Structure 1
Amino acid sequence: MALAVLHALDSARTQWYHVTAIVIAGMGFFTDAYDLFCISTVSKLLGRLYYYKPGTGKPGKLPQDVNNFVIGVALVGTLSGQLVFGWLGDKLGRKKVYGITLIMMVICAICSGLSFGSSAGSVMTTLCFFRFWLGFGIGGDYPLSATIMSEYANKMTRGMFIAAVFAMQGVGIIFAGLVSMTLSKIFLDLYPAPAFNAIPVDYSNVMSTQPQADYLWRIVLMLGAFPALATFYWRMKMPETGRYTALIEGNAKQAAADMGRVLDIEIQDEQDKLAQFKAANDYSLFSGEFLRRHGKHLIGTTTTWFLLDIAFYSQNLTQKDIFPVMGLTQKDVEVNALREMFETSRAMLVVAFFGTFPGYWFTVFFIEKLGRFKIQLVGFFMMSLFMGIIGYKYDDLKNNKYMFATLYGLTFFFANFGPNSTTFVLPAELFPTRIRSTCHALSAAAGKAGAMVGAFGVQNYTLDGKVKEIQKAMIFLAITNMLGFFFTFLVTETKGRSLEEISGEDGSSDRDAGTQMTGTNTSATTKTTY
């Protein structure tokens, strides 16, 4: 049995409001990516400013434990925020908590740049405190944006719309590199300094780390507040999704009115059918019925996202340490602080623009043609292949920076034209409305647990730029990606089917897994009444 409001949403033509919703939700992910990854462009600068040891003749460097926390504390906050806001999204409604995430992101991005203290340790402590809560707000954006977009979209373009929201992460990564590169170039032109080998040892850090650079990293972090602030008004004007209003709040009339107001469709309210629909799906996350219907799916979405993010965040957060080995940036003893930040940001921008960014949009354009399942399988396999080549042929590749950069960029491309996009899409489609946000949050939190493995574990292998350690890290990541390939078989294809058919809420039973994986549209056999 299907309700008219659900059928109308599934069959509604693409309209301007769909585009508006993509932009509103997508700007959240733009901000998320900028805030999470801009720290990589400034972390070496923080070491030079606050951890220089006089008389060494070497630039200051963040201690390994401090570096791990500065880089990884936002991920801990993100994991926590995903679980809290994902649960609240099902209990209180998607819209009611959607604005809170933006407010937290705006305030904490600004406060991160204003981090204070009387010593290096106290500044880093303050910075980590605000970045934890910044991550907490970012975490809420994952389940809420995915759920809202999936519940607004029609069944033929749903995957494309959700992927388009997530693709704004790629734009955010580009801007993290672009903003850091531009500002560091401006500061470099205003405050030039000689290289280390041109100045006495005792004055090396003073001369090669311009004191004005203390303003630079703060400006970079604070600029992350503006995209979120710009979309706050429009996010607050979005109505609650029709599916939540009808299926969770039990108000079919209000759902019809809300969706009729923002979409050019006529919807009948069917309050009499609603009680029957809800009764057929009245089971909780911790129930045998959920385990029977969706246990395998939840294991699939959590494990694949966990394994993917080990590789994805290891790649992104350790670029600054791998770039000098690849020959894309100079060694720290050869350049001053602002020049080092400029070169790191420039290399990050190039890799993102030619590798990361295209992968996201390939997914947007092909997800409804190829399906989620095939894209995820191919992505995991190609990531494993290219990382394996980099690992096993590292001694040869480190002397050929163009080949190294090409293979390294291809790992980013297939991460995004692959599991980094599909692991975000699938949890927003596979689970029933009453626990959709929670299940997406659990899947995303598993991903952030993988990201923490990358930030606190894999990053330690690359921190000193040692060839053998980077080689080991690449081989390890190749293995995790191949595991992700095999765990993908626990999820099923969702393209071309309504959310209620996928979750079984409309009374239809799951089709044979092999049939679903081929991308066959089985909706024609489903009996529905309107």
Structure 2
Amino acid sequence: MEPFKSLDSVKLNFNHIKIWYTSGMGFFTDAYDLFIIGAILDIFNAYHLPGFTLTPLYEGLLASSAIFTAIIGQLVFGVLGDLIGRKTVYGVEASLLTAGAALSAFAPNVLWLIIFRSIMGIGIGGDYPISATIMSEYANVKDRGKLVALVFANQGIGSLVAVAVGAISAFTLPPDLAWRVMAFVGAIPAATVIYLRRKVPETPRYSALKGDTNNVEKSVEFVAKDTPKTEVRRVRIQRKSVSEFFSKYWLLLLGTAGTWFILDIAFYGTGIYSGPIVSSVLGKPASVGQEIVYAGIPFMVGFFGYFTAVALMDKLGRKPIQTLGFVMMAVLYGVVALLAVAKGAKLEGFLIPSTQAFALYALSYFFIDFGPNTTTFVIPSEVYPTSYRTTGHGISAAAGKTGAAITTFYFPTLLSSLGIKGILEMLAVISVVGAVLTLIAVKEPKLKSLEEVSQDSVVLEQSQETK
């Protein structure tokens, strides 16, 4: 049975693109924030501004506060998205994100900056399960991986904008104004979609779960205008119990949550502290602005990875891309670590020119963004049943942000105790674990309907024909 055949087979159209834009702007801010907080830390450490002198504790909290609260946002909004609806909460997370980012720019001291960034983090976290699921539940089968990956690819755009804003601000503005401009710009993209999010119809799958016949028709027609009403008005999706969800999907949950946890250990640790890592490889730059530019080079390389994933997601499949990404991360981290010459935690050089070692390190960002950084976002939006789709995605994303929070908070300590060489060795090992876990516990959703891949319980009410 194909209960949403017209939706699954409709050609890519303008309303798909409209949902992509509406869903994607939160991820622009997520990636913008990932890079820009590193640039802000560079300014605070270089200039010791009044009220913003950093102790190790404050530096760790400032770097990780938005990540810790994102975990709360992912879990809370994930559960709410399944309990009361995707549309009901859509726009609330963008409002929190916008308010937190804007208020951060006016923080009077480091403590208030941590508080405001924590508010922003809840919004960022809430955006993950809701935006991914709305795009997934509206997409056609042929382009679903591409469309959900495109939502996430706004991270690539956010990264490049962050590099540009950070460098221009550092080069042209006084330090106390420069970091405030950097913080404020992150609020703008999310603010543009708050109204649009409130206007997106509830998804057809969730409407079928709630038995809302009128909205099933309305939402299917939103992207598939010529759908016969008789095709969708009888569709009902049966809600699974909590115990049934966990007993049936526990291995899959381990796969999607575990691989995301592993990915974010690498991505956020090296991302937020890109400046110190790059400086230790290439040498200390002449200015903070130059340090920001150097730190942004891996992000620029990673930009192409996002859109390579978009192009190949529905051709190669999610599972092969994720496995390849983890394997190449392990190879590149391992090679750079082998080439590094260290005395204790201190990096003394490389067996090859440092620029070549840096190029290999930067290439890891291509495979991060082409591979698990994109696929860990896409897969949970497809493989869980409608009644637990945002919950499954929220749990998986929260596991990722837990890995991000741990590594971000402890990265300065690890850097001083293990050094770059030791950190790269550690990341190589966990990347191998990520590849193995992908092969064992992750499903391939390519070119399958959401009902097929998630094993949803679908009923046609009049005939009681059950899938």
The answer to whether the 8 Å contact 2:26/2:127 transfers is yes
Which residue in 2 is equivalent to 1:220? Answer: 182
Of 28, 45, 54, which aligns to 1:62? 54
Residue 296 (structure 1) shift: 1.1
Indicate yes or no: 2:419 matched with 1:469.
yes
Match of 1:181 in 2: 167
d(CA) in 1 for partners of 2:34, 2:277:
19
Query: How far apart are the structure 2 equivalents of 1:441 and 1:258?
Result: 23
What is the letter of the counterpart of residue 159 of structure 1? G
Q: 1:271 to 1:383 in 2, by over 3 A?
A: closer
Percent of pairs with identical residues: 36
Find the counterpart in structure 2 of residue 282 from structure 1. Answer: 239
Q: Which residue of 1 aligns with 2:204?
A: 242
Q: Where do 1:411-450 residues align within 5 Å?
A: 411-450=364-403
Say which SS state the counterpart of residue 494 (structure 1) adopts.
Answer: coil
Alignment partner of 1:87: what SS?
helix
Cα offset for 1:183? 1.6
> Aligned-pair distance for 1:61?
7.0
Match of 1:11 among 9, 12, 18: 9
Please list every run of 5 or more consecutive structure 1 residues that lacks an aligned counterpart in the other structure.
53-59, 117-122, 188-211, 509-527
Q: What is the CA–CA distance in structure 1 between the aligned matches of 2:185 and 2:351, rounded to whole Å? A: 35
**Which residue pairs with 2:345 in the alignment?**
none
Asked if 1 retains the 8 angstrom alpha-carbon contact of 2:217 and 2:233, the reply is no
Please say if residues 44 and 62 of structure 1, whose CA atoms lie closer than 8 Å, have aligned partners that are also in contact.
Answer: no
Which residue pairs with 1:343 in the alignment?
290
Match of 1:82 among 74, 82, 87: 74
Moved more, 172-181 or 438-447: 172-181
Q: Scaled by the length of structure 2, what TM-score is found?
A: 0.92
**What is the DSSP-based 3-state SS (H/G/I as helix, E as strand, rest coil) of the residue aligned with 2:40?**
helix
Structure 2: tracts of 5 or more residues without a match: 342-348, 460-464
Q: Secondary structure at the match of 1:215?
A: helix
Over aligned residues, Cα RMSD in angstroms?
Answer: 2.2
TM-score (norm 1): 0.81
Distance 2:6 2:295 in 1: 44
CA distance in 2, matches of 1:481, 1:504: 30
The aligned residue for residue 310 of structure 1 is 265
2:107 alignment partner AA:
S
1:90-489 to structure 2, matched below 5 A, reads 90-116=82-108, 123-187=109-173, 212-247=174-209, 249-269=210-230, 273-274=234-235, 277-278=236-237, 281-285=238-242, 287=243, 289-327=244-282, 329-330=284-285, 335=286, 339-340=287-288, 342-353=289-300, 355-395=301-341, 396-397=349-350, 400-462=353-415, 469-488=419-438, 489=440
Partner SS for 2:90: helix
Letter in 1 for 2:267: F
CA contact (8 A) 2:270 2:277 kept: no
Stretch moving more, 36-45 or 376-385: 36-45
1:2 and 1:376 mapped to 2: Cα distance? 28
Structure 1 residue aligned with 2:449 = 498
1:74 CA drift (Å): 0.6
Cα distance in 2 for partners of 1:420, 1:459 equals: 23
Would the alpha carbon gap of residues 271 and 390 (structure 1) be closer, same or farther in structure 2, given more than 3 Å must change?
closer
Partner Cα separation in structure 1 for residue 129 and residue 222 of structure 2: 25
Return the offset for 1:2.
Answer: 4.1
Equivalent-residue separation in structure 2 for 1:86 and 1:226 (angstroms): 24
Distance in 2 (CA, whole Å) between partners of 1:257 and 1:218 is 44
- Partner Cα distance (2:444, 2:263) in 1: 19
Letter matched to residue 39 of structure 1: I
Task: Encode CA deviations 1:284-316: one digit per residue, 9 max, x unaligned.
Answer: 23x1x3244312111110111001110111110
Quick one: distance in 2 between partners of 1:315 and 1:234?
Answer: 34
| Structure-2 change in CA distance of 1:254 and 1:267 (3 Å) | farther
Deviation at 1:263, TM superposition (A): 3.6
**Residues 497 and 307 of structure 1, relative CA distance in 2, 3 Å threshold:** same
For 2:159 and 2:34, how far apart are their aligned partners in 1?
Answer: 9
Q: CA deviation at 1:317?
A: 1.2
Counterpart of 1:258, as a letter, is S
Equivalent pairs, count: 453
Q: Secondary structure at the match of 1:493?
A: coil
